[in-house]
């Protein structure tokens, strides 16, 4: 071997040794040092890790580089990456420890999508000198973003947007000057941060020449800086200013950024003049929904030379004629046209878009276009690439064509809310990629095809509100990926005359479906009479609705406990029998409705053995529950709606109810006794208080009026309350239903009822949230009663429109206050069966919305006011058994009521058949508002008769006395007239008697 060869081998051996030494040294150093490991443990100590994501963070594990979310430098072993974003509800909570500052080489910090309880962004984060990437978005921070972040001179990507959650304040910035020193920024996201006071935003952004992406969506910006001489944004490719209400014309500086690839101006409310897109030759994504300036064909002609692949012009007032200008945009992959004015036929030029993967034409009222015609344009492509098709809320007719099966790449198909008829074609099974199918709210009939079981990728299915019938196919059980099965109200006759009448009865009793659903709505399907035990296999359920499904067998005790993730449970309107064994229900439940069943027993197992801290809605109405209402309400701290109506509950109202933040409380129709305890005055947010049909005693507390000032409904009817109606009730300005009937109340009706601002029309009634309290989602409360004309009806979904005062069947005395006539929005007034006296207020006709008026069985006197003739909406009227007199006003709806509405008075006129003692009068009636004179001598009439007689006598006799010639002529005329009459009579008699 030569010397040169020996030297080469030695040199190679030396290199291998050095490499192995460095590798061993690198491996030895890859373990994090004790200081950084201890810093991470202190950081964990300040957090609440409910999802147990940090279980590997323990002192026993010396190598923190192997901990979840931690990455280290391979050479130095220093921690350079902390990546802990929240995933699918797995969030971290608590404080961010300052111990993280010991991570000197940290380059990447991601704490996004967690919940830090509204704390401020820590100022010490600005001390990480090596930080390149910072993501704190969607983590429930609040307050002002600290300007100390401007010290992060090496920062490339700060994602600081969308801090605010439902329970926190919005983050904000007074100015953006601290960003000017971050010269290495190329991606800035501050979406959701309140920048309304940061008037320097464009000036600062213009000083960042390396910026590539800028996201300022929903920042409450209002000044677009219309006149900017020049912009220094040569590298900017992504500009997102969406959801800022500029409400101005579009500034031209935007269209001078020639490097733009993506421009998002969604819902900025821009209007003319029309901008020029000619310079934006690199533009690929243009989202300009909810702006007025886009409704011009010239804009699309300018865009025809671009390489657009995504275009969103939803809600821009686009007409059908503008669509023809789109035909050259053949590179489009995504096209959104929802909420426009495409009233004519869709041009077949859409068939040129063979690269199109998603198109949204929903909400356009396209017209009587057949689905077959529409699909033909896409089927003309040799290999249609369409993946998502939204056509909901149009007037599309016809059937679903068999050719639908040729759209083999389709993943989402939404045909809901149209007029599509016929059956679902068997070819639907060829859509092997389909993940979402929505065909609800149409007129589809027939059976579900067996081929639906071939949709192996299907995750969501909605077929509600159609005319389907028969049994659900067994092949439905083959859909292993199904997560949301929506049969919501598919069997109930509700819309379109008749709706689905599907039956879900399984042939195999112990069937276990292959899918795991998250949402299951089977309302009004035929499931019963046996309880569907297969439901217990659905461990991932979050929403379950099996209401009105004909189940009558007892519920298994372990049923509800089977669903550890359940948020929504509705089993109402069945006949489920057995004791109320709901112990151990999931702590996640927010909505519980088991009303209108046959549950019996006490409330203790449900209320006292469960630790449900999240429930907001609890409805146990219309069951057979008995016993006392227990004092366990501290276990239900978030409860806002509580309905225990129409059971057999007894005892007193629990004092601990006053510790809740209830908005709706219904205990109507029970056997609750005792007085109203003062602890209920703490329910200051209460909108509805239903305590009617119980055995409550004592006087009505004054604190109802002074503390519960948000009340919209107060129902205390059919109890044993006594004493006066407290004047403090007049403080409930928003009241619209006041029902105190059938008690032992006495004294006068308060004159201050005109303080009710909604009933008087001073304040408008916006009852959206109020309707939710009454009806809930897809619910109508059945226990709330409305009594008119002694007929008890049920409150329906129109309850927010009902305006009622019912004080009937008490011992009230005194006059009817005239102030009641100022309640212009009142629809029902019942003061019957009291001891009221005096007359009916003259201006009762001012309450023109009255539909029901009952003043019967009192001691009222006088006449019926003529203003009653202006009540055009009266459908129920009763003044019987009073001391009323006079004639019933005519020309009004009063004549349409039966005689029983007027019995027991001294009234006359239609509809009464007898005069009842009234003096006859001329047919002419008094006009409205005319005052009738008292009976007695009418001296005006007598004087006018005497004066007329005297004047007439002397006008004839005066000239005869003065002039002799007139006397001779006058008596000569009378003599001739006498002989003429005599002659006529004589000839007539001769003719009659032949004389």
> 326-363, pLDDT tens digit by residue?
777 888 899 999 988 887 666 666 667 788 899 998 98
Q: Do you find a cis peptide bond into 410, omega within 30 degrees of 0?
A: no
Domain contains 357: yes
446 against 22, higher pLDDT = 446
Alpha carbon separation from 886 to 452, 860, 907 (Å, rounded): 75, 13, 5
Q: Is residue 174 part of a domain?
A: no
Q: What is the pLDDT of residue 107?
A: 95
Range of weakest confidence among 122-131, 467-476, 599-608: 467-476
pLDDT (0 to 100) of residue 328: 78
Q: Name beta bridge partners: 721.
A: 698
Query: What is the mean predicted confidence (pLDDT) over 623-646?
Result: 92
Residue 944 binned pLDDT confidence (cut-offs 50, 70, 90): low
Per this entry, what is the length of the chain?
995
Over residues 12-26, the mean pLDDT reads 46
pLDDT number for residue 935: 44
**Residue 397 DSSP code:** B
Distance CA 716, CA 730 (A): 16
Q: What is the CATH number of the domain that holds 353?
A: 3.80.10.10
Question: Of 679-683, 802-806, 971-975, which gets the smallest average pLDDT?
Answer: 971-975
Q: Which residue has the tokens 């129409």?
A: 646
Q: Which structural domain, as residue segments, surrounds residue 281?
A: 231-365
128 Cβ neighbours under 8 A, 6+ residues apart: 101, 103, 106, 109, 152
Nearest alpha carbon to residue 526 among 555, 494, 490, 502: 502
| Cα(673)–Cα(690) distance, integer angstroms | 14
- Read off the pLDDT of residues 210-269 as tens digits, 9 standing for 90 and up: 899 999 998 988 888 777 777 888 889 999 999 998 888 888 888 888 899 999 999 998
Q: Is residue 58 part of a domain?
A: no
Sequence-distant (6+) residues with CB within 8 A of 311 are 286, 287, 329, 332, 334, 335, 336
Q: In angstroms, rounded to a whole number, what is the distance separating the alpha carbons of residues 548 and 526? A: 8
Average pLDDT value for residue range 910-915: 75
Q: Tell me: the pLDDT tens digits for 519-553?
A: 888 887 778 788 888 888 888 888 898 888 888 88
Mean pLDDT over 653-679 rounds to 93
Residue ranges in 30-108 assigned as alpha helix (H): 34-45
Whether the upstream peptide bond of residue 5 has omega within 30° of 0, thus cis, is no
**pLDDT single digits (tens) 807-828:** 999 999 999 999 999 999 999 9
pLDDT tens digit sequence for 269-302 = 888 777 788 888 889 999 999 988 887 777 877 8
Residue 869 pLDDT: 87
Q: Could you tell me the pLDDT band of residue 166, with boundaries at 50, 70 and 90?
A: very low
Q: Please give the pLDDT value at position 929.
A: 41
* pLDDT over threshold 90, residue 669: yes
**Cβ atoms within 10 A of the Cβ of 244, count?**
23
Mean pLDDT over the full length of the chain? 81
Give me the pLDDT at residue 701, please: 95
Residue 123 is predicted with a pLDDT of: 92
Give the pairing of strands 598-601 and 591-593. unpaired
Say if residues 112 and 139 touch (Cβ distance below 8 Å).
yes
In which element (H, E) is residue 641 found? strand 641-643
- Number of domains making up the chain: 1
Q: Above 90 in pLDDT, residue 858?
A: yes
User: Which neighbouring-strand residues pair with 859?
Assistant: 837
Q: What confidence score (pLDDT) does residue 280 get?
A: 87
Residue 187 is inside which H or E element, if any?
strand 187-189
CA atoms of 124 and 510, how far apart (whole Å): 59
Residue of 141, 199, 203 lying closest to 174 (CA atoms): 199
CA–CA gap between residue 898 and residue 901 (Å, rounded): 6
Lowest mean pLDDT among 98-102, 851-855, 945-949: 945-949
Of 162, 100, 161, nearest to 131 (Cα)? Answer: 100
pLDDT at 910: 87
CB neighbours of residue 12 within 10 Å: 10
At residue 746, φ and ψ (nearest 5 deg) are: -135, -175
Residue among 672, 736, 725, 675 at smallest CA distance from 702: 725
CA-CA distances (angstroms) from residue 709 to 517, 868, 947?
Answer: 44, 33, 68
Q: H or E stretch including 988?
A: helix 964-993
Structure confidence at residue 488 (pLDDT): 38
* pLDDT tens-digit series, residues 571-627: 999 999 888 877 677 888 899 999 999 999 999 888 887 666 789 999 999 999 999
The pLDDT assigned to 826 comes to: 94
Cα 226 from Cα 941, distance rounded (Å) = 84
Report, as an integer, the average pLDDT of 412-430: 92
Which pLDDT belongs to residue 779?
Answer: 42
- According to the model, what pLDDT value does residue 534 have? 80
Is 348 a domain residue?
Answer: yes
Q: What whole-number distance in Å separates Cα of residue 239 and Cα of residue 388?
A: 26
Q: Is 361 inside a domain boundary? A: yes
- pLDDT tens, position by position, 365-408: 777 777 887 777 777 776 678 899 999 988 888 899 998 988 88
For residue 538, the model assigns a pLDDT of 83
pLDDT in tens, 300-312: 778 877 789 999 9
In a domain, residue 249? The reply is yes
Rg (CA), the chain: 42
Residue 179 has pLDDT above 80, yes or no: yes
């Amino acid at each position: 071997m030569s010397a040169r060869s020996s030297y080469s081998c030695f040199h190679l051996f030396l290199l291998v040794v050095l490499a192995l030494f460095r590798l061993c040294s690198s491996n030895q150093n890859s373990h994090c040092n004790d200081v950084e490991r201890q810093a991470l443990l202190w950081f964990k100590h300040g957090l609440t890790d409910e999802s147990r994501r940090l279980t590997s963070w323990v002192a026993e594990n010396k190598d923190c580089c192997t901990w979840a979310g931690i990455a280290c430098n391979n050479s130095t072993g220093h921690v350079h990456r902390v990546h802990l974003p929240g995933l699918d509800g797995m969030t971290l909570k608590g404080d961010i420890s300052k111990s993280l500052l010991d991570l000197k080489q940290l380059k990447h910090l991601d704490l996004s999508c967690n919940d830090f309880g509204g704390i401020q962004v820590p100022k010490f984060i600005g001390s990480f000198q090596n930080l390149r990437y910072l993501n704190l978005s969607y983590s429930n921070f609040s307050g002002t973003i600290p300007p100390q972040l401007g010290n992060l001179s090496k920062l490339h990507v700060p994602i600081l947007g969308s801090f605010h959650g439902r329970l926190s304040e919005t983050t904000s910035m007074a100015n953006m000057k601290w960003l000017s020193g971050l010269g290495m920024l190329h991606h800035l996201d501050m979406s959701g941060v309140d920048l309304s006071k940061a008037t320097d935003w464009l000036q600062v952004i213009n000083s960042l020449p390396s910026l590539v992406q800028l996201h300022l969506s929903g920042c409450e910006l209002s000044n677009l800086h219309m006149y900017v001489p020049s912009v220094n944004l040569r590298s900017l490719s992504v500009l997102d200013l969406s959801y800022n209400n500029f409400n101005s014309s579009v500034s031209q500086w935007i269209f001078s950024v020639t490097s733009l690839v993506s421009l998002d101006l969604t819902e900025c409310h821009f209007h003319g003049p029309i901008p020029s897109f000619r310079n934006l030759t690199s533009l690929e994504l243009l989202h300009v929904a909810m702006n007025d300036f886009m409704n011009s064909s010239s804009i699309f002609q300018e865009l025809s030379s671009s390489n657009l692949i995504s275009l969103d012009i939803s809600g821009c007032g686009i007409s059908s004629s503008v669509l023809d200008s789109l035909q050259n945009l053949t590179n489009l992959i995504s096209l959104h046209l929802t909420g426009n004015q495409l009233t004519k036929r869709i041009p077949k030029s859409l068939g040129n878009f063979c690269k199109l993967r998603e198109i949204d034409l929903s909400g356009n009222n396209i017209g009587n276009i057949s689905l077959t015609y529409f699909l033909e344009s896409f089927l003309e492509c040799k290999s249609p690439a369409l993946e998502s098709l939204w056509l909901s809320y149009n007037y599309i007719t016809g059937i679903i064509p068999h050719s639908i099966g040729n759209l083999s790449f389709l993943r989402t198909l939404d045909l809901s809310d149209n007029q599509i008829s016929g059956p679902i074609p068997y070819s639907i099974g060829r859509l092997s990629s389909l993940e979402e199918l929505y065909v609800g709210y149409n007129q589809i009939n027939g059976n579900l095809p067996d081929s639906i079981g071939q949709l192996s990728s299907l995750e969501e299915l909605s077929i509600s509100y159609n005319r389907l019938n028969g049994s659900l196919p067994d092949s439905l059980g083959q859909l292993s990926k199904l997560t949301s099965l929506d049969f919501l109200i598919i069997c109930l006759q509700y819309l379109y005359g008749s709706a689905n009448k599907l039956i879900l009865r399984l042939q195999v009793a112990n069937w276990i479906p292959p899918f795991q659903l998250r949402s299951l709505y089977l309302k009004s399907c035929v499931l019963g009479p046996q309880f569907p035990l297969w439901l217990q296999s659905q461990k991932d359920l979050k929403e379950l609705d099996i209401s009105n499904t004909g189940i009558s067998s007892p519920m298994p005790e372990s049923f509800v406990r089977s669903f550890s993730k359940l948020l929504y449970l509705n089993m109402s309107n069945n006949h489920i029998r057995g004791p109320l064994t709901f112990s151990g229900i999931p702590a996640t439940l927010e909505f519980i409705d088991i009303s209108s069943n046959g549950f019996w027993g006490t409330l203790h197992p449900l209320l006292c053995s469960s630790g449900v801290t999240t429930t907001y809605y609890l409805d146990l109405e219309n069951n057979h529950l008995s016993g006392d209402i227990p004092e366990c309400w501290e276990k239900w701290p978030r409860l806002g709606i509580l309905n225990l109506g129409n059971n057999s509950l007894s005892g007193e109202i629990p004092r601990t109810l006053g510790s809740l933040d209830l908005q709706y409380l219904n205990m109507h129709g029970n056997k609750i006794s005792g007085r109203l305890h003062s602890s209920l005055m703490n329910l200051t947010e209460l909108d509805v208080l239903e305590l009617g049909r119980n055995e409550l005693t004592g006087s009505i507390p004054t604190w109802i009026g002074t503390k519960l000032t948000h009340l919209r409904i107060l129902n205390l009817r059919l109890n044993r309350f006594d004493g006066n109606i407290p004047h403090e009730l007049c403080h409930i300005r928003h009241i619209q239903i006041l029902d105190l009937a059938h008690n032992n109340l006495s004294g006068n009706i308060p004159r201050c009822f005109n303080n009710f601002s909604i009933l008087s029309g001073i304040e408008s009634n916006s009852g959206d949230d109020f309707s939710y309290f009454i009806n809930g989602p897809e619910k109508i409360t059945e226990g709330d009663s409305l009594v008119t004309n002694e007929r008890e009806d049920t409150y329906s979904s129109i309850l927010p429109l009902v305006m009622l005062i019912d004080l009937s069947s008490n011992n009230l005395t005194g006059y009817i206050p005239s102030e009641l006539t100022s309640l212009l929005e009142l629809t029902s007034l019942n003061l019957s069966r009291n001891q009221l006296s005096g007359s009916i207020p003259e201006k009762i006709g001012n309450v023109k919305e009255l539909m029901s008026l009952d003043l019967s069985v009192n001691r009222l006197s006088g006449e019926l006011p003529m203003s009653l003739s202006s009540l055009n909406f009266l459908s129920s009227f009763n003044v019987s058994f009073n001391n009323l007199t006079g004639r019933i006003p005519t020309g009004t709806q009063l004549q349409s009521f039966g005689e029983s509405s007027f019995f027991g008075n001294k009234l006359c006129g239609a509809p009464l058949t007898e005069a009842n003692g009234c003096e006859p009068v001329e047919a002419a009636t008094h006009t409205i508002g005319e005052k009738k004179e008292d009976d007695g001598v009418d001296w005006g009439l007598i004087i006018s008769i005497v004066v007329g007689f005297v004047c007439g006598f002397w006008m004839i006799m005066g000239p005869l006395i003065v002039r002799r010639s007139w006397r001779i002529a006058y008596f000569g005329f009378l003599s001739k007239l006498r002989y003429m009459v005599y002659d006529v009579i004589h000839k007539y008699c001769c003719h009659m008697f032949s004389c």
